[in-house]
Amino acid sequence: MQRVSSNGTAGNDAVAPVPLDPATVYRRNGARPWPSARPRVIIVGAGFGGLSAARVLGDKDVDVLVIDRNNYHGFWPLLYQVATAGLEPESVAHPVRAIVRQYSNVSFMMAEVLRVDFAQQVVITAAAALPYDYLILAAGSANNYFGNETLAAHTYGLKDLDDAELLRNAVLANFEYAVSEANQARRRRLKTLVVVGGGPTGVELAGAFVELIKHVLVHDYPMLDMSEARVVLAEAGDTVLATFPTTLQQEAIRRLQAIGVEVRLRSPVAAVENGLVTFGDGSQIEAGVVVWAAGVRAAALADRLGVSQARSGRIPVQPALNLADHPEVFVIGDMAYLESPPRRGQPRAPYPMVAPVAVQMAERAAHNILARIRRKPMKPFRYFDKGNMATIGRRVAVIDAFGIRLSGYLAWAGWLVVHLMLLVGFRNRIVVFLNWAYSYFTYDRGLRLITGAKPPPPGSPVQAAAPTAEARQL
Give the integer Cα–Cα distance in Å for 390 and 3.
49
Give the integer Cα–Cα distance in Å for 473 and 424.
22
114 and 185 fall within a common domain: no
Q: Looking at 312, 342, 373, which one is the last position of a domain? A: 373
Q: Is residue 382 part of a domain?
A: no
* Residue 43 in this model has a pLDDT that exceeds 70: yes
Distance in Å from the first CA to the final CA of the chain? 29
* Residue 468 in this model has a pLDDT that exceeds 50: no
Q: Provide the pLDDT for residue 347.
A: 77
Q: Provide the pLDDT for residue 3.
A: 29
Distance of alpha carbon 414 from the chain centroid:
22
CATH number of the domain residue 438 falls in:
3.50.50.100
Mean pLDDT of 120-138: 95
* Residue 180 in this model has a pLDDT that exceeds 70: yes
Average pLDDT of the chain is 89
Q: Provide the pLDDT for residue 461.
A: 56
Q: Is residue 378 part of a domain?
A: no
Task: Answer whether 135's CB lies under 8 Å from 57's CB.
Answer: no
Could you tell me the sign of the dihedral formed by the alpha carbons of 474, 155, 166, 199, in that order?
negative
Please give the tally of structural domains in the chain. Answer: 2
160 and 227 fall within a common domain: yes
- Provide the 3-class DSSP secondary structure of residue 442: helix
For residue range 368-413, list pLDDT tens digits in order: 999 999 999 999 999 999 999 999 999 999 999 988 999 999 999 9
Give the integer Cα–Cα distance in Å for 421 and 270.
40
Q: Is residue 379 part of a domain?
A: no
Q: Provide the pLDDT for residue 425.
A: 92
Q: Is residue 14 part of a domain?
A: yes
Give the integer Cα–Cα distance in Å for 167 and 391.
20
- pLDDT-based confidence at residue 472 (cuts at 50, 70, 90): very low
- pLDDT-based confidence at residue 30 (cuts at 50, 70, 90): very low
Mean pLDDT of 326-348: 90
For residue 206, which of 216, 215, 221, 196 has the smallest C-alpha distance? 196
Q: Is residue 223 part of a domain?
A: yes
- pLDDT-based confidence at residue 473 (cuts at 50, 70, 90): very low
Q: Which residues contact 166 (CB under 8 A, 6 or more apart)?
A: 156, 455, 462, 465, 466
Mean pLDDT of 291-301: 95
Q: Provide the pLDDT for residue 9.
A: 35
Buried b (16+ CB within 10 A) or exposed e, 295-315: bbbbbbbbbbbbbebeebbbb
432 and 357 fall within a common domain: no
Q: How many residues does the chain have?
A: 474
Q: Provide the pLDDT for residue 127.
A: 86
Q: Is residue 166 part of a domain?
A: yes
203 and 333 fall within a common domain: no
Give the integer Cα–Cα distance in Å for 370 and 133.
12
Give the integer Cα–Cα distance in Å for 171 and 24.
47
Residue 455 belongs to domain spanning = 149-294+387-472
Distance of alpha carbon 48 from the chain centroid:
10
Q: Looking at 315, 350, 373, which one is the last position of a domain? A: 373
12 and 104 fall within a common domain: yes
| DSSP code for 230 | E
* Residue 460 in this model has a pLDDT that exceeds 80: no
Q: Which residues contact 53 (CB under 8 A, 6 or more apart)?
A: 43, 136, 138, 332, 362, 363, 365, 366
For residue 284, the cross-strand partners are: 278
Q: Provide the pLDDT for residue 458.
A: 64
399 and 272 fall within a common domain: yes
Q: Looking at 333, 348, 373, which one is the last position of a domain? A: 373
- pLDDT-based confidence at residue 341 (cuts at 50, 70, 90): confident
Q: Provide the pLDDT for residue 29.
A: 47
- pLDDT-based confidence at residue 7 (cuts at 50, 70, 90): very low
**Which residues participate in catalysis according to the annotation?**
204
Give the integer Cα–Cα distance in Å for 407 and 384.
23
Buried b (16+ CB within 10 A) or exposed e, 166-187: bbbbbbbbbbebbeebeeeebb
For residue 301, which of 338, 335, 350, 351 has the smallest C-alpha distance? 335
Give the integer Cα–Cα distance in Å for 351 and 200.
17
444 and 466 fall within a common domain: yes
Task: Answer whether 451's CB lies under 8 Å from 165's CB.
Answer: yes
Q: What percent of the chain has pLDDT over 70?
A: 88
Q: Provide the pLDDT for residue 10.
A: 34
* Residue 250 in this model has a pLDDT that exceeds 90: yes
Q: Which residues contact 346 (CB under 8 A, 6 or more apart)?
A: none
